A and B are shown apart, each in its own frame.
Chain A
Amino acid sequence: MKVLITHYGYIDGSGEYYIVIDSDRCSGCGKCIQKCPEKALILETEFIDLEDKIVVAVAEEYRKKIKYTCAACKPERGSTPCVLACEAKAVKCIWNPR
């Protein structure tokens, strides 16, 4: 097993909201960043197996409010632009409002 999956988001009283990045699959191409209408995605350096790898991440200031930031893309209706943009299927969205 060699994966590194990062969940950005949170569970709170109103449900659970995560943008999930698979750092092994992510090539850092940035296509998802271009598709994000809220500009919530950025490239970040991850430390994997003693190497620095540039991968996509949710920018710090959006991590605590992705329920609101990502609501514009209506994740409850299916895939969001960032998820669709990724050919490597490195971006996922978990969206379970209660």
Chain B
Amino acid sequence: MKEQGTVKAAEFWRWQEYHRVMPKKWTSKDLITAGVDVGSVGSKAAIMVNGEAYSWGITRTGSNSPESAAKALSYALEGTELKASDLKYIVGTGYGRVNVPMANKAITEIACHAKGANYIWGPRVRTVLDVGGQDIKAIRIDETGRVVSFLMNDKCAAGTGRGMEVFADLLQIPIEDIGEISLKVEKEPEPVSCTCVAFAKTEAMGLLRKGWTKEKVLAAYTRAMAVRMANLINRVGLEKELVVTGGQSKNIGIVSRIEVILGVKCLPMPNWRDEGNLDPMVAGAFGAALFAKALYEKAQKA
């Protein structure tokens, strides 16, 4: 993993941008496709060789979707010796999917996340919870990764990755440590009554003033987020196996609390920090790259 700059002390919300190249070779005979997932907070691009993950890049989404898409894609290409012209088909997805200029086609992130989760964890996956920067999606899928039923809560940012960023800043805890720290409580506190990001500051300050530790405040907030997510999963109907994708899949505080509330274990999170393991935050881009392959092959046959 290549380190991109250093984290400034004041930017606790800032998560690590990185890119990865898998140790495998490709030739000009291989079918190389890409998926670009422009999310509200993170932009992810994945490159696949014959439908196998080859490289990916994750960057922060800027104010301009086309630029963010281009940045993520060139980040995924970095260190691969591939050129943009080697990509036979590109699928754009995510919140900003209509603004991915290099894409041959735009597909909803629901379909892509379903396909990507099926790719990362295999055909056992039936329920996917995608916790993005700005919305939460609960998706039921079949053994092929096809969407059966889904619902999305994009009404507000409560309980999303962006909400966590605000909390990280507020409590001055690096975003990547939030999950662990939220679990450092002897007894799980009651969830906060309001997960509203706009009121988060007031609510957290009130609790801190009452003498709550940062850990306890985080636990209460994370718990409330997990309750919201569990509600969504129950509405769409929980069927095992359950997995979490998106940026918050990396938040152990969220994932473990969902497991407790629902009474099920999620399939193990791939150890994405290590070479050779897939990152569930990139699930949508993997799915998009797989659709790109299928669509290219379909076009060739026609």
A interface residue numbers (CB < 8 A to B): 1-7, 9-12, 16, 18, 46-47, 49-50, 63-64
Given A1-B148, A6-B150, A50-B291, does the pair A12, B108 have CB atoms closer than 8 Å? no
Q: How many residues of B contact A (CB 8 A)?
A: 24
- How would you classify the secondary structure of chain B's contact residues: helix, strand, loop or mixed? mixed
| Extra pairs beyond A1-B148, A5-B148, A7-B151 (18, CB < 8 Å) | A2-B142, A3-B149, A4-B147, A6-B150, A7-B150, A9-B151, A10-B153, A10-B154, A10-B155, A11-B235, A16-B235, A46-B108, A47-B111, A49-B146, A50-B298, A64-B154, A64-B155, A64-B156
Closest Cβ neighbor of A10 among chain B residues: B155
A78 to chain B, nearest CB (A): 21
Decide: B149 and A5 in contact? CB cutoff 8 A. yes
List residues of B (270-302) whose CB comes within 8 Å of A's CBs: 291, 294-295, 298
Docked-complex contact A11 and B153, CB < 8 angstroms? yes
Chain A, residue nearest B111 (CB): A47
- Bound-state Cα–Cα, A10 to B152, Å: 7
**Which chain B residues in 208-250 approach chain A with CB under 8 Å?**
228, 231-232, 235-236
**Shortest beta-carbon distance, A63 to chain B, in Å?**
7
Query: Could you say which residues of chain B place their CB within 8 Å of the CB of A64?
Result: 154-156
B155:A5 contact, CB within 8 angstroms: no
Select from chain B the residue with minimum beta-carbon distance to A44: B108
Chain B residues closer than 8 Å to A9, beta-carbon distance: 151
11 A-B pairs (CB sep. < 8 Å): A2-B146, A6-B151, A7-B149, A7-B150, A7-B152, A7-B236, A9-B151, A11-B232, A16-B235, A50-B291, A50-B294
Q: How far is the CA of A12 from the CA of B295 in the complex (A)?
A: 38
With a cutoff of 8 Å between Cβ atoms, the chain A residues found around residue B142 in the complex are: 1-2
The answer to whether the Cβ of B107 comes within 8 Å of any Cβ in the partner chain is yes
Contact A3 to B294, CB < 8 A, known contacts A10-B155, A46-B108, A64-B154: no
Whether A3 and B148, one on each chain, are in contact in the complex, defined by CB atoms closer than 8 angstroms, is yes
